[in-house]
Structure 1
Amino acid sequence: MGKEEQDQRLPRGVTIRCHKSGQTIQITFTYRGILCRESLSRLDVNNKTLKYASRLLGEIQNKIALGTFAYIDYFPKSNKAVLYGEVKKSKRVKEYLDEYIEICINRQLSPSTIDGYRKCIGSLVDLHNLPVTELSASSMKAWISNKNAKLKTIRNLLSFLRSAIDEAVTDGLISVNPVSLVTASRYRPKTVPDSKENYVIDPFTPQEVGAILNACRYVQWRCLFQFAFHTGLRSSELCALRWCDVDFIHKTVHVQKASVVGVIKGTKTTSGNRKIDLDDQAITALNTMREFTSLRSEYIFEDPKTSKPWANSASIRKKSWVPSLKLAKVRYRNPYQTRHTFATKHISQGKNLFWLAAQMGHRGPEMLFRHYGSYLTDYDVRLRKI
């Protein structure tokens, strides 16, 4: 009965929609023969806002009667604005880039993918203020020609931009996506190195490993790096490693999680979920970490400055890896080279490649041949001389 009395007090065409997070005022009107319902989501529900909603509805109905109503003026984010062909004519490229990020979030893409897309937005800054209607194949050719980046980088940027501008085609602002009409390889400056030069496997020597460990300012840093050099784990896997993953009796650790952009998720690949053997150096690192984290945290490794688990691989690199290499006076390589150091050390020792592939989370030795072919060749040559 109370609900019916409340409905009777509401102005005609104004309703209150109830949902889990509260109440929203909704107005209903007919435009071009279609019943339209729009929520006034930023308004609290009270007598004052209900009267405002009634006046707003009257204004809309008057403009509809006069033929001067523009849906986009009142509800710019409504899907009905697209239906009536009233999308914003001055919409710029940056707006579509931001909109595509929201689409990716709603699709629940991985945090690392979304973080990569956000970085792409910054790299596309030269196109941000360009109205999407002025984006053309010609302007894209000019942008590629002036972009001082590797081919792979440009291709990644174009892929993201292409997906975002597809929404402009959907909105009817443009008929063809101009990004689809160009290829990076045709217009990229030849002076820029190829993407094959992006990364070089450059493992640390035993002397460099010793220097790095001795240069660590904190015991926790030393344990982290010692464990990395002796297990081949990725930094993201080290961040998510828990005490419950360790089997001290059988000297193994079960790698199940990784921390990507501060979010704990599954390993990079299905084969990445694996049990690996621990040598004496890795066990020593774990035993040393016990006094720091075993009683107050489920995670093994921590940032000694905050006494909290490492957030992500970037935190490890910036806060501990870079300072340690500088103090050790060791030529800089990124933390992933600890993984390459682990692999090349065992290859040089003639370890079984199937075992090594399983330790590193590869499906088989094929990945080892692809990345460490030259080291395997050198080892074969040494064997023939014996």
Structure 2
Amino acid sequence: MGKAEQGSLSLPRGVTLRQHKTGSTLVITFTYKGVLCREPLSKMDTTSRGIKYADRLLGEIQNQISSGTFDYSKYFPNSKKLELFGVVKKTKNIKSYLDEYLKICENRNLSPSTIGGYEKCVSALSSLHRLHVAELTPAVLKNWIASRKTKLKTIRNNLSFLRSAIDEAVTDGLLTINPVTLVSASRYHVIDSTPNPDDYEVDPFTPAEASAIYLHCRFQEWKNLFRFAFNTGLRSSELCALRWADIDFVENTAHVQAASVVGVLKGTKTKAGTRKVELNSEALLALKDQKPFTSMKSDFIFSDPKTGEPWANSDAIRKKAWVPTLKKAGVRYRNPYQTRHTFATRHISHGVNLFWLAGQMGHKGPEMLFRHYGSYLAEYDGRTSVHSAKL
């Protein structure tokens, strides 16, 4: 191996000195995978002894490159070249990937409310933050799911964000498969035996209560949203995702084909959820009154009048519009999902065809109606039986 003179030192080929303000550093140069690499030996003194060490190290590296056994990260764990060769530091933990994916989302210029929802997901996953991605096993995820006291829907939203973040670890080569895809939240979620009336009890609004809600909306856009909800039975997440292009003003239908969950547009809850909902005169009035606000500036029909942005999710509607309106109207609180129950029970009281109603609500068949509205169906049957007897 030839030698080169640099200053007063005799340097072997491939070994150089890099001068800087505080002194000098030995640098070895070699070619790996067609890339010219220069790596400093910052902890090695620039003495004849240090130069001999650098020469031996360079020979060792070149031999391993020739035999195909060279591990770049073993020799230079902090090198910037690692990413170039597809090697990622094995110290990267789950929090790093969550932050990385959150940054990706921020770069997509999503609304502040959407980013806020993602930040809540990062916080909800705090017990997993310090784990290295290789330690995120299905067993760890099962225990995390079982420990959560939140709703199953919230857990699924958190896992959806985690899955997207850990996809980056798969891309980086730290994992061969994303472990989040192997675990079902519903299987390991511990169901709270204490019933929550707001979530599970069918408690529809009366016509007088609905009128009071319309009357006390602070913004016309809130009134349009609530009127449309009461008269179509759409879920809040479906209302967030509904676009003007989904409305057929000739056939008077709304094509429901998406939902907004934590600010992310997804398909409907079930295959049957993709449906065409018939629009009555009240629903059409809500759309007519909404047109001046969004039809010329947004693809989405309903938006938050305070921000001018489409509603990010059902939670945003509940907190920012629904709760204050019911309080102002003096209407006993029930959650927004009760607008859907109101739509169903009103049609049941009118004796509509249950197969038609199931289709309008996105159910596979009437079985779900019997499960949720059995008492209302029985009450209607009782009234019709009495009426028949009188005839």
TM-score category of the 2 structures, normalised to the smaller one: 0.5 to 0.7
Q: Could you say which residue in structure 2 is the equivalent of 1:245?
A: 247
User: Pairwise mapping of residues 304-319 of structure 1 onto structure 2 (< 5 A)?
Assistant: 304-307=305-308, 309-319=310-320
Report % sequence identity: 50
User: Pairwise mapping of residues 1-386 of structure 1 onto structure 2 (< 5 A)?
Assistant: 35=33, 37=35, 56-57=37-38, 59=40, 63-67=57-61, 70-75=75-80, 78=83, 88=89, 90-95=91-96, 119-130=120-131, 148-149=149-150, 193-194=192-193, 199-200=199-200, 201-239=202-240, 240-242=242-244, 245-247=247-249, 250=251, 252-258=252-258, 260=260, 261-262=262-263, 267-293=268-294, 299-307=300-308, 309-386=310-387
Give me the whole-angstrom Cα distance separating, in 1, the residues matched to 2:148 and 2:340: 32
**8 Å contact from structure 1 (residues 213, 225) kept in 2:** yes
- Bigger shift: 58-67 or 134-143? 134-143
CA shift for structure 1 position 323: 1.7
- CA distance 1:132–1:311, change in 2 (3 Å): closer
- Bigger shift: 262-271 or 344-353? 262-271
3-state DSSP of counterpart to 1:74: coil
| Residue-pair matches, total | 321
Give me the whole-angstrom Cα distance separating, in 2, the residues matched to 1:359 and 1:57: 67
TM-score by length of 2: 0.59
- CA distance 1:228–1:154, change in 2 (3 Å): closer
Give me the whole-angstrom Cα distance separating, in 2, the residues matched to 1:259 and 1:160: 16
**8 Å contact from structure 1 (residues 204, 341) kept in 2:** yes
CA shift for structure 1 position 352: 0.7
TM-score by length of 1: 0.60
Give me the whole-angstrom Cα distance separating, in 2, the residues matched to 1:152 and 1:236: 12
Give me the whole-angstrom Cα distance separating, in 1, the residues matched to 2:307 and 2:145: 43
CA shift for structure 1 position 225: 0.9
Q: Which has the larger radius of gyration?
A: 2
CA shift for structure 1 position 230: 0.9
- CA distance 1:309–1:184, change in 2 (3 Å): closer
**8 Å contact from structure 1 (residues 259, 311) kept in 2:** no
Q: Could you say which residue in structure 1 is the equivalent of 2:26?
A: none
Give me the whole-angstrom Cα distance separating, in 2, the residues matched to 1:131 and 1:297: 42
Give me the whole-angstrom Cα distance separating, in 1, the residues matched to 2:271 and 2:138: 40
The one-letter amino acid paired with 1:199 is: D
Give me the whole-angstrom Cα distance separating, in 2, the residues matched to 1:223 and 1:256: 18
CA shift for structure 1 position 353: 0.8
- CA distance 1:117–1:219, change in 2 (3 Å): closer
- CA distance 1:71–1:384, change in 2 (3 Å): farther
Give me the whole-angstrom Cα distance separating, in 1, the residues matched to 2:274 and 2:138: 44
- Bigger shift: 120-129 or 307-316? 307-316
- Bigger shift: 61-70 or 270-279? 61-70
Give me the whole-angstrom Cα distance separating, in 2, the residues matched to 1:95 and 1:348: 55
Give me the whole-angstrom Cα distance separating, in 2, the residues matched to 1:344 and 1:319: 27
Give me the whole-angstrom Cα distance separating, in 2, the residues matched to 1:133 and 1:266: 31
The one-letter amino acid paired with 1:224 is: L
- Bigger shift: 317-326 or 262-271? 262-271
The one-letter amino acid paired with 1:286 is: L
CA shift for structure 1 position 215: 1.0
Give me the whole-angstrom Cα distance separating, in 2, the residues matched to 1:159 and 1:300: 26
Give me the whole-angstrom Cα distance separating, in 2, the residues matched to 1:312 and 1:152: 13
3-state DSSP of counterpart to 2:199: coil
- CA distance 1:306–1:74, change in 2 (3 Å): closer
Spell out, residue by residue over 1:205-256, the C-alpha distance to the aligned partner (whole angstroms, 9 max, x if none): 3332122111112222212211210111233433423177232x55x12324
Spell out, residue by residue over 1:265-315, the C-alpha distance to the aligned partner (whole angstroms, 9 max, x if none): 655544444332222322332333345455666654444345555454444
Give me the whole-angstrom Cα distance separating, in 1, the residues matched to 2:355 and 2:324: 36
- CA distance 1:329–1:97, change in 2 (3 Å): same
CA shift for structure 1 position 327: 0.7
The one-letter amino acid paired with 1:65 is: G
- CA distance 1:382–1:162, change in 2 (3 Å): same
Q: Pairwise CA RMSD of aligned residues?
A: 5.3
CA shift for structure 1 position 354: 1.2
Structure 2 unaligned segments of length 5 or more: list them: 1-13, 15-28, 42-53, 62-70, 106-114
**8 Å contact from structure 2 (residues 148, 189) kept in 1:** no
CA shift for structure 1 position 96: 5.6
- CA distance 1:295–1:322, change in 2 (3 Å): same
The one-letter amino acid paired with 1:253 is: T
Give me the whole-angstrom Cα distance separating, in 1, the residues matched to 2:270 and 2:134: 41
**8 Å contact from structure 2 (residues 257, 275) kept in 1:** no
Give me the whole-angstrom Cα distance separating, in 2, the residues matched to 1:262 and 1:140: 24
**8 Å contact from structure 2 (residues 246, 255) kept in 1:** no
